[in-house]
Structure 1
Amino acid sequence: MMQGILDIDALSVRFAGRNSHFDALRGVSLSLEQGRILGVVGESGSGKSVTGLSVMGLLPQQASITGGRIRFKDQDITARTPRHLRGASIAMVFQNPRAALNPTRRICDQLSDVIRAHESLDSGAIRQRVIHLLESVNFPDISRRMGVYPHELSGGLCQRVMIAMAIACSPSVIIADEPTTGLDVLTQKAVMDLLFRLSRERAMSMMLITHDLGLAAQYCDSIAVMQKGTVVESGSPARIFSNPQHAYTQRLVDACMTMHPAQPHPAGKTTSRKRRPLLEVSNLRKRYANGHLAVDGVSFAIAPGESLGLIGESGSGKSTLSRLVGRLLDPDDGAIRFEGRSIGTIGARDFFRAEQRPHIQLVFQDAAGSLNPRFTAFDSIADPVRRLGPARNPGALRHHVEKCAADVGLAPALLDRYPHQLSGGQCARVGIARAISVDPKLLILDEPTAALDVLAQSEILALLERLRREKGMSYLFVSHDLHIVRMICDRMVILQNGKIVETGNCEEVFQNPRAPYTAQLLAAIPHFRPASQEAAAATGTEFAGS
């Protein structure tokens, strides 16, 4: 193996349980060269994050390195990453910036803490360094916002703060662990362009841990594919993704929507909108107590059996609109009609009593977080049946729950498990089974695959399409991922600042966007272009998200 600035050689990590153990890493070998970006890809549980935590010396107490070694600039850091290296020479950008930032301290103080930990500077010099760091990550309105708390910032701005903390002491290596998960496509592009620029300008090496193959293909110099704690394939992005050698890599590529142009959604040719709409939304408005107008005059309709995609960046009003339609929020103005009857005038607090409640169900973005941690999977699926469905004896209820579980591909053995005992994909299946347990006519899906790896995402989307065909349900599919909407929806509505800027058939919008904002969203999608990247590699030029 060519020696790099960071070398991992045959690394093995074991997690010890009460009565058993689990080998999270089994002989992993990676090399990160100076000023280059290494993408580490794979499904959830493949060992990507454990690799990064091992380098940082941040493994949990129950984990231990059982073999191999980690070397940074010829220094062996396997047993312990020295404190003077962590943060100063090797830094990490975590997946969830809100959880990684201290909620009780202002962002300027948290940046100052990092600098003080490694350098002896007076308060004036530290303040100037903080301002310079925030400028380098394109943080807006620094003078006013540097004194705010993390909860007062968007996810994208919190991630910029995390990046500023990571580069505060000019490290040689940055480990970015899923830095764009949950971010909309425009914010995702901004964050990745920023990391790429900083890597090139400062000659920093970066290990990008991600399940988004499109991001890895577009921004990385080399790729390592991990499965079940081992590296199964490595090489250049052009070679890995255009000619994968390992069967697992082939599965990842086949499952990744950003690798291949999606085909027009088959249902789009057959769904009729000449029938009376199932759902009609007219001139809907919602303003929050702080004065923010989240939804401003929105109108659309969904036909029986139709799937409508709701697209927009963070803060565009997508989630507010879905909560209004799902009757979890009350509108300030406008009308919501379901099967020709007004439901917008029924208060959100009283809608659980309405006869339409079982017919409109929601699937939430955070599958695990939306499940009651005290409920087993069985209880989560049975709960709406007990509350909204006809009375059933225990035997009939169990049979119904097991049928719902079978419909979503959830094994019967998993019904007795609690949410923390399930994977992300399994939690997503429980959430869908819970929603369909009362035979809804309209399913509102709020970013149902946002946090899932590419294989789990592909499985959930195939499941949703099958359920729609079999049960004749309509979908309001909320997402910031245009490829997913193109794959599962007949039509799409593009929201910006609470207003509809474009609507139309998915394929027409993709091929001929009319609104500049729509074109901007489409341009921000990470695409893999083998010919372009091979040409860039041959000429030594840069190839990234420009």
Structure 2
Amino acid sequence: PEDSSRAASVVICMNTDRIRGAPMAEAEPTRTPQVDSRAILEMDRLHVSVDGATIVQDVSFSLRPGERLALVGESGSGKTVTALSIMRLFDAAGMETRGEIRFEGKNVLTMGMPAIRALRGARVGMIFQEPMTALNPLKTIGAQIAEVLVRHEGLGGEALRRRVRELLEQVRLPEPLRVMRAMPHQLSGGQRQRAMIAMAIACNPTLLIADEPTTALDAGLRKTIMDLLVDLQQRLGMSLLLITHDLPVVRRYADRVLVMREGRIVESGRTDEIFARPGDGYTRTLLEARQVDSMVDAVDESAEERLSCRDLGVTVGKRRWIGRDTLTEIIRGIDLSLHAGQTVGVVGESGSGKTTLALALLRLMDGARGEIRLDGMRVDGLPEKRFRRYRRDLQVVFQDPFGALSPRMNIAQIVGEGLDVHEPGLSRGETRERIRAALTEVGLDPSVMSRYPHEFSGGQRQRIAIARALILKPKVLILDEPTSALDAAVQLQVLRLLRDLQQSHGLTYLLITHDLAVVRALAHRVLVMLDGEVIESGSTGTLLEQPTHDYTRQLIDSALMT
């Protein structure tokens, strides 16, 4: 495909006959024996700059057949640009690229476009980081996976439908027939990521580049997905280049590690050696950033109730006059109470109903029922026009920091948009000053106001999203996986920022996450969700140390395993 902006069209592969029906790996992944020293991929002093600003500098490494190589580093270190350069997918005005990238002995940087398209189509596949922006919002999941198979394998009819269903089952998506008919926005973040992975493994590439393949997945699903990728990699002799900030995943699955900082490789070596004896101070910083201690202060239990719900449920689908109803109950019987200055964490695996709960509380979910109160005022039955004035008190930071920001608006327009709605009487100067103050508060230089979201790293984009929510001075902030797409070092920075903002503004947080380390750091109380219901709740320390439900114990055990 010529248009590299459509990720779905770039996940292109080869014949899949060898992998159909392959069972999931159950055993501990084995380290790849290095029996063939011939490199399938060689990068020699790669240098990438845009308008004179260096992004990647003197990057050199090799990848052998059947090897798993991890590229790690904090956001903005150049990992993704390095990966995209392998298929010539990184393209920007004023870009300059030097060096060599040899795939199977041929220099990718000097190939013509027909050869590049053949390379993408037959030999190299890629799992992209942000599934919401990579998937076409106007096509069903099944149609998008089918598009890859039709274009590159010529499948059709029943064989095509059967293969799409097999792929969804291989990545452990529940109810594959329902998922095939679903639009991307109807799936959770973890489910969308697994749909993207299904597209990538559909065609069995020689080299698979996985850019944050476990982003937004809970601990159990991270292991499931990585076990699947490793199983396919071992069966087919496929090489895997893993771009990730998830150091436990690297430690468990990678043969070798490259550590990047500010566009350079600062350390490389075998995984066990790097984790046991890191030689570079930056590597040690990355490893230490995984150790997140509790940041919460005691909260006044008698503080004013900010947000509550009683018997909250959501049902989607249709009632039919003829034939069967298509109603599905996503969440049911949820009781919740948040007090001023308190953080309540909601945990559970992908698809458990966490995000649906958040959307229902925000009045952004059709089919919701039950009682919702904001500052004591019942708001669930209010017409939208009357409820609109309450929205400034109930703001949200969404899971995907790129998909949540309009690519056609600059940072000043994004952050200031809420002021245009809720404080239209402000002068241009007053609006600009409020925007400057919000950006400064989240640790961004106000000079970025004229720039656009694609110019920022994941951590910076999340800070922009937080600034957009804070500018209205809300009482309650719903945080939907606020750190899931961030590396450990940036995650720690964002957690500290959220703690400081809560202390300075008396904010109340509803924290939706699958990361128990984030819950331990920020939450006073925890709700555990399974299949749309709250199965256990309690204070954070007690629940994590003494869980009473088997499912909660499984979540904790899975987190420890990764």
Q: Which TM-score applies when normalising by structure 2?
A: 0.80
Letter in 2 for 1:460: V
Alignment-derived partner of residue 317 in structure 2: 289
Q: Secondary structure at the match of 1:248?
A: helix
Q: How far apart are 1:34 and its partner, in Å? A: 3.2
Q: How far apart are 1:489 and its partner, in Å? A: 1.1
Deviation readout 1:309-357 (Å, 9 max, x if unpaired): 112233322222222323334774322223333222323443113xx44
Q: Distance in 2 between matches of 1:479 and 1:60?
A: 34
Alignment-derived partner of residue 365 in structure 1: 399
Q: Distance in 1 between matches of 2:404 and 2:165?
A: 38
1:273 counterpart (282, 288, 301): 301
2:386 counterpart (350, 358, 362): 350
Deviation readout 1:127-158 (Å, 9 max, x if unpaired): 8877876676567677x579757748766566
Alignment-derived partner of residue 10 in structure 1: 44
1:200 counterpart (217, 227, 234): 234
1:53 and 2:95 correspond: no
Q: Secondary structure at the match of 2:462?
A: helix
Alignment-derived partner of residue 455 in structure 1: 489
Alignment-derived partner of residue 409 in structure 1: 443
Q: Secondary structure at the match of 2:559?
A: coil
CA distance change for structure 1 residues 349 and 250 in 2, over 3 Å: closer, same or farther?
Answer: farther
Deviation readout 1:240-274 (Å, 9 max, x if unpaired): 23432223223322323xxx3x434432xx11223
Letter in 1 for 2:71: V
Contact 2:310–2:370 at 8 Å: present in 1 too? yes
Q: How far apart are 1:110 and its partner, in Å? A: 2.4
Q: How far apart are 1:454 and its partner, in Å? A: 3.0
The aligned runs of 1:21-40 (5 Å cut-off) are 21-40=52-71
Contact 1:37–1:206 at 8 Å: present in 2 too? yes
Deviation readout 1:148-189 (Å, 9 max, x if unpaired): 577487665665565455455654432212212233443332
The aligned runs of 1:204-223 (5 Å cut-off) are 204-223=238-257
CA distance change for structure 1 residues 15 and 294 in 2, over 3 Å: closer, same or farther?
Answer: same
Q: How far apart are 1:492 and its partner, in Å? A: 1.2
Q: Secondary structure at the match of 1:278?
A: strand
Alignment-derived partner of residue 99 in structure 2: 67
1:110 and 2:148 correspond: yes
Deviation readout 1:454-491 (Å, 9 max, x if unpaired): 33322221111001111111111112222112211111
Letter in 2 for 1:234: S
Alignment-derived partner of residue 434 in structure 1: 468
Alignment-derived partner of residue 494 in structure 1: 528
Alignment-derived partner of residue 388 in structure 1: 422
Deviation readout 1:185-243 (Å, 9 max, x if unpaired): 43332211101222223332211111222221221111111122221111233332343
Identity %: 37
1:339 counterpart (365, 368, 375): 375
Q: Distance in 2 between matches of 1:271 and 1:7?
A: 54
Alignment-derived partner of residue 519 in structure 1: 553
Q: Distance in 2 between matches of 1:472 and 1:422?
A: 29
Alignment-derived partner of residue 534 in structure 1: none
Contact 1:9–1:69 at 8 Å: present in 2 too? yes
CA distance change for structure 1 residues 245 and 347 in 2, over 3 Å: closer, same or farther?
Answer: farther
Contact 1:310–1:493 at 8 Å: present in 2 too? yes
Deviation readout 1:361-388 (Å, 9 max, x if unpaired): 2222233443455544334434434543
Alignment-derived partner of residue 536 in structure 1: none
Letter in 1 for 2:145: I
Letter in 2 for 1:45: G
Letter in 1 for 2:54: D
Q: Secondary structure at the match of 1:314?
A: coil
Query: Which sits farther off after the overlay, 279-288 or 51-60?
Result: 51-60
2:354 counterpart (301, 309, 318): 318
Aligned-residue RMSD, C-alpha: 3.5
Q: Which TM-score applies when normalising by structure 1?
A: 0.82
Q: Distance in 2 between matches of 1:155 and 1:359?
A: 26
CA distance change for structure 1 residues 111 and 302 in 2, over 3 Å: closer, same or farther?
Answer: same
2:72 counterpart (28, 31, 41): 41
Contact 2:87–2:108 at 8 Å: present in 1 too? no
Q: Distance in 1 between matches of 2:464 and 2:168?
A: 41
Q: Secondary structure at the match of 1:274?
A: coil
Q: Distance in 2 between matches of 1:518 and 1:224?
A: 35
Q: Distance in 2 between matches of 1:326 and 1:404?
A: 22
Q: Which runs of 5+ in 1 are unaligned?
A: 528-544
Q: How far apart are 1:307 and its partner, in Å? A: 0.6
CA distance change for structure 1 residues 69 and 277 in 2, over 3 Å: closer, same or farther?
Answer: closer
Q: Distance in 1 between matches of 2:514 and 2:190?
A: 14
Q: How far apart are 1:390 and its partner, in Å? A: 9.0
Alignment-derived partner of residue 328 in structure 1: 364
Aligned length: 511
Contact 2:188–2:355 at 8 Å: present in 1 too? no
Contact 1:27–1:68 at 8 Å: present in 2 too? no
Q: Distance in 2 between matches of 1:85 and 1:357?
A: 50
Q: How far apart are 1:286 and its partner, in Å? A: 2.0
Q: Distance in 2 between matches of 1:369 and 1:169?
A: 27
